[in-house]
Amino acid sequence: MQIADVQNMLPVGALLRDTYIVDDYLASGGFGNTYLVHHKVFGDRRAIKEYFLRGMMTRGGDGVSVFVNHLSDMAQVRLCLNGFMDEARRMHQLNNANIVRVHDVFEENNTAYYVMDYINGNTLTQVLKSRNSPLGNNEVRSILDQMLDALDEIHSKGLWHLDIKPSNIMLNNNGRAILIDFGTSKQIDKVTGEQCTSAIAAYTPGYAPGEQQDGSNKNVGAWTDLYSLGATIYHLLTGLTPPTASEIYNDGVMAFRFLQGNDKTLSQLVMWLMNPCIDKRPHSVAEVRAHLKEIEAKNVDNDAAIAQDHPSTPASQQQEPGTVGLMGTDAMRQRRSGTSNNSTMKSILIGLLALVLTLAAVFGVLYMINDTSHQRKHRGGSKKSQRRAKSLPRTIATLLWSIMMMSRLGNPIEKITSTQIGH
Ligand SMILES: Nc1ncnc2c1ncn2[C@@H]1O[C@H](COP(=O)(O)OP(=O)(O)O)[C@@H](O)[C@H]1O
Ligand SMILES: [Mg+2]
């Protein structure tokens, strides 16, 4: 937790709305302060965000009231306060496990507050920092699914978040990803069709597409949030700051630096979501989900084909179920070509051995026939030659059995190589 300006925050123990007691500081940003509080009667924990424009507002001598520094800023501060109240109203409409729940909003101390569920966890920025490494494919995929759920709910209410990024997504102690901070959000007015937004609109470079940067905000929509979601996934997968929209525009795919272990389905999705051209980006969560389903179905088919090639591959060497659908097509191809190379080698070996044994068998038989006719000519021949003639059928049977055994030699070879081709 980083608190930039503690002296401008409410003191621990302060009472808000005669109900919530401040227990701790959670954060302090340019537009507001966030506190951990508990309900005076029920004792349950909540988070409260306080409207506080840093640089324009100051805490009064009583430690709780807030004042505007310059009279000339009064109108601006009032306008933004209305935006803050709108932010709370918008969040209150949303009912989804992956969006922080807002319970209450009120004005007090010359400013405003809204009350949220307290999320016991960390933002994804903090998670990346504490782990000092990017997140794994499965974890990123799970966060992606949860954020698609969140965006589905937001967009279905005619709302756009417009500030999706790792520092606005929290991971609670049960591994649930929860979207916070609707300070930049917008909503289409159901009656007039006009866009309403908090006056404190801002954007974060690297997460904001072109249509958000020209200031007009004319062309923002669900596709804008999907772009930022793509940038967020990129950051989680690589640990790198996403390329800016203009870098992508100039350099194309070269602007992205995916890591070797990054899942192909996810990296391709990121490049689709982050297309600088609105028309080439998905326009709805449903479109993204349908695309993912299609890719995964293809991967499952590929896996089924591989399983047929390798019926004897032990279970311990197979992909864990959740990962199967996430395998990139290149990895699939690698696995498949590894498999066919082994089969070819095996066939050549068996063919050569069979040829040698067949030739040996033919020469053996010819030799025996020659020997037997020689014996007949010399009325019975030696005892040794007679024994040799009797063993002729046994020799042929032994040779045939050897050929059969050789054809089964392939299995151990197959087992070794299927372990080596790296699951
Ligand atoms: N409901 C919550 N539960 C726990 N911590 C929260 C909650 N909401 C916000 N925070 C903490 O406060 C920080 C700032 O919140 P945020 O809404 O993103 O405000 P801003 O970015 O405008 O300062 C977050 O990064 C997080 O650490
Ligand atoms: Mg934030």
Q: Is the CB of 198 under 6 A from ligand 1?
A: no
Pocket test for ligand 1, best of 38, 46, 180 (most atoms within 8 A of CB): 180
362 & 252 share domain:
no
Ligand nearest the Cα atom of residue 31 = 1
Q: Confidence band (pLDDT; 50, 70, 90) for 390?
A: low
The 10s digit of each residue's pLDDT in 226-269 is 999 999 999 999 999 999 999 999 999 999 999 999 999 999 99
Torsion, Cα of 205, 50, 166, 148 (10° steps): -100
Tell me, using a 6 A CB cutoff, whether residue 230 lines ligand 1.
Answer: no
Q: Quick one: how many helices (H) and strands (E) in the chain?
A: 13, 14
- Distances from the Cα of 29 to the Cα of 52, 167, 231, angstroms: 9, 12, 22
244 and 379, same structural domain? no
CB 54, CB 33: distance < 8 Å: no
The ligand 1 atom at the shortest distance from the C-alpha of residue 28 is: 23
CATH number at residue 52: 3.30.200.20
- Per DSSP, the three-state class of 53 is coil
Question: What is the distance in A from the centroid of ligand 1 to the CA of 19?
Answer: 21
User: Is residue 185 in contact with ligand 1, taking CB distance under 6 Å?
Assistant: no
Ligand number with the minimum distance to the CA of 200: 1
Rounded distance between C-alpha atoms, residue 174 and residue 16, angstroms: 29
Query: Between vectors from CA 399 to CA 395 and to CA 405, what angle results, nearest 5°?
Result: 140
Question: The CATH number of the domain where 175 resides is what?
Answer: 1.10.510.10
Residue nearest to atom 24 of ligand 1 (CA): 27
Query: Is residue 150 located within the same domain as residue 278?
Result: yes
- Least confident among 43-47, 111-115, 317-321: 317-321
CB-based neighbours (< 5 A) of ligand 2, an ion: 168, 181
* Domain boundary residue, one of 266, 294, 323: 323
CB atoms inside a 10 Å sphere around CB 176: 15
- Of the candidates 58, 91, 117, which is a domain's last residue? 117
Residues 372 and 309 in one domain: no
> Which ligand sits nearest to residue 32's alpha carbon?
1
Instruction: Give yes or no for residue 70 having a pLDDT over 90.
Output: yes
Dig out the tokens for 4 from the structure: 């930039």
Q: Which ligand is nearest to the CA of 164?
A: 2
Evaluate whether 413 touches 346 at the Cβ level (below 8 Å).
yes
Which of 323, 340, 363 corresponds to the end of one domain?
323
Q: What is the DSSP string of 75-105?
A: HHHHHHHHHHHHHHHHHHH---TTB--EEEE
Cα–Cα distance list, 155 to 112, 150, 342 (Å): 26, 9, 51
- Per the structure, the count of domains in the chain is 3
Q: Which residue range is the domain that position 379 belongs to? A: 330-422
Segment 298-316 mean pLDDT? 56
Residues 132 and 177 in one domain: yes
Residue 188 β-bridge partners: 195
Is residue 150 located within the same domain as residue 66? no
> 85 alpha carbon to ligand 1 midpoint, in Å?
16
Is 315 found in the same domain as 198? yes
For ligand 2, the distance from its centroid to the CA atom of residue 166, given in whole angstroms, is: 9
The CB of 381 under 6 Å from ligand 1? The reply is no
CA atoms within 13 A on the CB side of 394: 5
Q: Are residues 311 and 295 in the same domain?
A: yes
Name the closest ligand to CA 170: 1
Phi, psi of 71 (to 5 degrees): -55, -35
Q: Which atom of ligand 1 is nearest to the CA of 116?
A: 1
26 Cβ closer than 6 Å to some ligand 1 atom: yes
**Residue 29 alpha carbon, nearest atom of ligand 1:** 23
Ligand 1 within 6 A of CB of 88 = no
Do 47 and 180 lie in one domain? The reply is no
Same domain? For 127 and 225 the reply is yes
Position 301 scores a pLDDT of 73
> Does residue 318 sit in helix, strand or coil?
coil
Phi, psi for 239 (deg, rounded to 5): 80, 5
Using the predicted structure, report yes or no on whether residue 196 has a pLDDT greater than 60: no
Top mutation candidate among 3, 34, 184 for ligand 1, by most atoms within 8 Å of CB: 34
Ligand 1: nearest atom to the Cα of 121: 4
Burial bucket for residue 194 (CB in 10 Å: 0-12, 13-18, 19+):
exposed
Of 42-46, 167-171, 321-325, where does mean pLDDT reach its minimum?
Answer: 321-325
Cα–Cα–Cα angle for 8, 13, 14, rounded to 5 degrees? 55
- In 3D space, the residue among 21, 265, 279 whose CA is nearest the CA of residue 145 turns out to be 265
Among 94, 181, 207, 232, which residue has the most ligand 1 atoms within 8 Å of its CB, making it the best to mutate?
A: 181
Q: Are residues 204 and 300 in the same domain?
A: yes
% residues pLDDT > 90 (the chain): 59
304 and 172, same structural domain? yes
pLDDT at 111 over 60: yes
pLDDT class of 418 with cuts at 50, 70, 90: very low
> What pLDDT shows up at residue 419?
24
Distance CA 156, CA 4 (A): 36
